[in-house]
Amino acid sequence: MTQPSVWQQRIAGEWHGRPSLFDADGTWCGYEEIRRSSDFADGVTTYRMDGGLVGGGALAGRFRLGAPFSFGVVDSDANRVYTGPDFFGTGQPYGSFVDSHYYGPGWQVDLNTWNQVLPDGDTQVYSSVLYQGWAVVGCFNGVYTRDASKVDALIEAETRRGPVPYILPTKTVGRFAGTCELWGADQKQRGTAEVSLALEPIDLLRTRRHITWSGAGLDRSFTVDARRDGNRLFFEGPDAWGNAIGFGRASFSSLHLADVWKVKGREFSLDAEPGMSAGRRLSVVYELFDGASLDTVLHGVLEWQS
């Protein structure tokens, strides 16, 4: 390959962030000071990660970096193959979002990383759910920038926002809405879709959600009652059932509709602050499955409308 892939061009340069570490129960444990970069030279892509863990509790010994990580990448917009020595696995780009599954020998965990580049081109929403076999052992997530003029402000904001739990408005009727990219499982863009997450609070712990997806052949709407118990959500019909767990501002959901469709999703509150502010922007990724087969990937940013 003489030129880097579209995804590689999208993530070129050095990215700075202060993602938070959570244990398997969603308890905030500390921060990770991280600088990530990848470069393409002479047909070879190398990915580097340098930084250290602040805090970490019982997870500190496992997730502190003893040395900077680096690994080779077989660069492609179809399958990005991570060739070690510090990570082994693959990632599949869907436009400005990549879904990666790989193993890190240094951390001794399997990782499912979702990395979404926002429309400004200089902001990433990043999460890595960490597994021992099929069991979750923790999660890293946060926001990154590669705009050098914004690094200090972002680090300050992530320090405030990192531990904030995912709690959407509980006394205000409104909706998060926006235009999202819609991709097929074949990694070809089908177009865009209008996405609406309308909220009708019932009480401080229960909210009726009205979800609508429309555009590019996707036409779906359903209603589900969401009940919150700490950082866990339970979706209890009438049109869908499932649950979710929050790792700070990121809520990871599994939802089963009334037919063969299933949804695996991440909703990330970009600007939630300590206190009662739920934030006004949600970064969302939804993977839609027809039975056991991935059919559609939907991702974008939703804005609050009261």
Q: What is the pLDDT of residues 265-287, one digit of tens each?
A: 999 999 999 998 889 999 999 99
pLDDT digits (tens, 9 = 90+) for 8-41: 999 988 999 999 999 999 999 999 998 888 877 7
What CATH topology corresponds to 6-161? Lipocalin (2.40.128)
Q: Which residues of 184-203 are buried (b: 16+ CB within 10 A; e: fewer)?
A: ebeeeebebbebbbbbebee
pLDDT at 43: 72
User: Which pair of tokens denotes residue 212?
Assistant: 């609508």
CATH class of the structural domain 174-305? mainly beta
Phi/psi for 83 (5° steps) reads -105, 15
Of 71-75, 162-166, 230-234, which gets the smallest average pLDDT? Answer: 71-75
Helix (H, G, I), strand (E, B) or coil at 53: strand
- Specify the residue for token string 């999202």: 180
- Of 106, 42, 119, 97, nearest to 70 by C-alpha is 106
Question: How does residue 47 score in pLDDT terms, banded at 50, 70 and 90?
Answer: confident
pLDDT digits (tens, 9 = 90+) for 55-101: 999 999 999 888 889 899 998 999 999 999 999 999 999 999 999 99
CA–CA gap between residue 85 and residue 106 (Å, rounded): 10
CA–CA gap between residue 102 and residue 87 (Å, rounded): 6
Instruction: Give Cα 179 distance to the centre of its chain.
Output: 17
Query: How far are the Cα atoms of 7, 109, 168 from residue 199, in angstroms, in the given order?
Result: 34, 36, 9
pLDDT at 250: 98
Which residues of the chain are in CATH 2.40.128.20 domains? 6-161, 174-305
- Specify the residue for token string 């070690």: 84
pLDDT digits (tens, 9 = 90+) for 194-218: 999 999 999 999 999 999 999 999 9
Beta bridge partners of 14: 37
Residue 227 is given by DSSP the state: E
Question: How does residue 1 score in pLDDT terms, banded at 50, 70 and 90?
Answer: low
